[in-house]
A and B are shown apart, each in its own frame.
Chain A
Amino acid sequence: MKEQVKKGVLEIFVLAILMRSDSYGYKIVSDLIQYIDISESTLYPILRRLEKANELETYNVLFQGRNRKYYKITKTGKKHIDEFLLEWEDIRKIYDILMK
């Protein structure tokens, strides 16, 4: 169960980063590393999963003669974040109780 939650949270982290702007693999990892423990090899399955679920789209950009794959959040992805936030409203309340 704990892994399930962690996986879900990782997905939301990635989507949240993509809410700021489209981004590419390496940048996503380096942005996220400030918040959570993530590596290139953990990111790959997450990106794949999100892409399969149509929560993000990809496009290629040529950068210094090589390819950079960019990821862009979709409507479905945004909906996912909203649903997640709604679900976790209760967690925030628990947090509030404990911190008061």
Chain B
Amino acid sequence: MKTWLKELERELKKRFYLTEVDDIISYYEEMIQERLDNGESIDEILSDYDPKEIAKSMTADVVMKRANDTYKSIAKSSKQLMVFLLSSPLLIPLGFAYVIIMIVAVSLLFSLVVTIFASIVGMVGLFINMYQSGLGQNEIIGFVGIGLMTFSFLILVSIWLYQAVQQLAKKLLYIFSKLAKNKGERK
């Protein structure tokens, strides 16, 4: 039984957080104890449970139940879901769809960052140019003002977009784990 629990723990640790692992382990430990007390033999009991299957069947459920609030936990859950989707033959199409959507979202964010960076560089260049061309101080200050306003507006937009992508990732995670779960149960 000890070795079986260790194996289950190993399988679970590949996919879940420690608190989740502990919860599942103690659930099965209790189950096994109860059945032992009821006079069933240990071999009989353990033949009912396959650690790999348990870990696998739990993935969609657990990932969906997570709050997925921080960027890090979204990234972790997304990755797990991806691996899970791609590793089960039935769910591969779903996995591909998920990967593609994520790639699109990430590249969108990336291009936004690049745009902002480029516009900063461009603006600095413009100011230097203006200074050199001998414009009056007032004009330059005016332009700097406009530049800063545009810039802060851009920052606002990017923050908003960043949040939108995060929300999207969260929603996608939810939808896809739900889909995966339904498909898995239909088997």
What residues make up the interface of A, taking CB atoms closer than 8 Å to B?
3-4, 7, 24-27, 29, 39-41, 44-45, 48-49, 52, 64, 66-69
B49 at the interface (CB under 8 A from A): yes
- From A3, A24, A26, contact of B186 by CB (8 A): A3
Tell me if A45 and B30 are in contact (CB < 8 A): no
Tell me if A49 and B30 are in contact (CB < 8 A): no
With a CB–CB cut-off of 8 A, which chain A residues contact B26?
Answer: 67, 69
Tell me if B57 and A25 are in contact (CB < 8 A): no
With a CB–CB cut-off of 8 A, which chain A residues contact B61?
Answer: 45, 48-49
With a CB–CB cut-off of 8 A, which chain A residues contact B62?
Answer: 48
- Distance of B104 from chain A, by nearest CB (Å): 29
Given contacts A3-B182, A3-B186, A48-B61, contact A41 B30 (CB under 8 A): no
With a CB–CB cut-off of 8 A, which chain B residues contact A27?
Answer: 34
Interface size on B, residues (CB 8 A): 23
- From A3, A4, A26, contact of B30 by CB (8 A): A26
Q: From A25, A27, A41, A52, name the one whose CB has the most chain B CB atoms within 10 angstroms.
A: A41
Tell me if A40 and B65 are in contact (CB < 8 A): no
Which single residue of chain A is at the shortest CB-CB distance from B33?
A66
Given contacts A41-B57, A45-B58, contact A25 B31 (CB under 8 A): yes
**Complex interface bits, B136-169 against A, C-beta within 8 A gives 1, otherwise 0:** 0000000000000000000000000000000000
Tell me if A67 and B30 are in contact (CB < 8 A): yes
Tell me if B35 and A44 are in contact (CB < 8 A): no
Tell me if A40 and B58 are in contact (CB < 8 A): no
Q: From B23, B31, B49, name the one whose CB has the most chain A CB atoms within 10 angstroms.
A: B31
Could you list 26 A-B pairs, sorted by A, with CB under 8 Å? A3-B182, A4-B182, A24-B30, A24-B34, A25-B30, A26-B30, A26-B31, A26-B34, A40-B28, A41-B49, A41-B53, A41-B54, A44-B24, A44-B27, A44-B58, A45-B58, A45-B61, A48-B61, A48-B65, A52-B65, A66-B30, A66-B33, A67-B26, A68-B30, A69-B26, A69-B27
B69 at the interface (CB under 8 A from A): no
**Complex: A66 Cα to B53 Cα, angstroms:** 26
Other 12 A-B pairs with CB < 8 A, given A25-B30, A25-B34, A45-B61: A3-B182, A3-B186, A24-B34, A25-B27, A25-B31, A39-B48, A40-B31, A41-B54, A41-B57, A48-B65, A66-B30, A69-B26
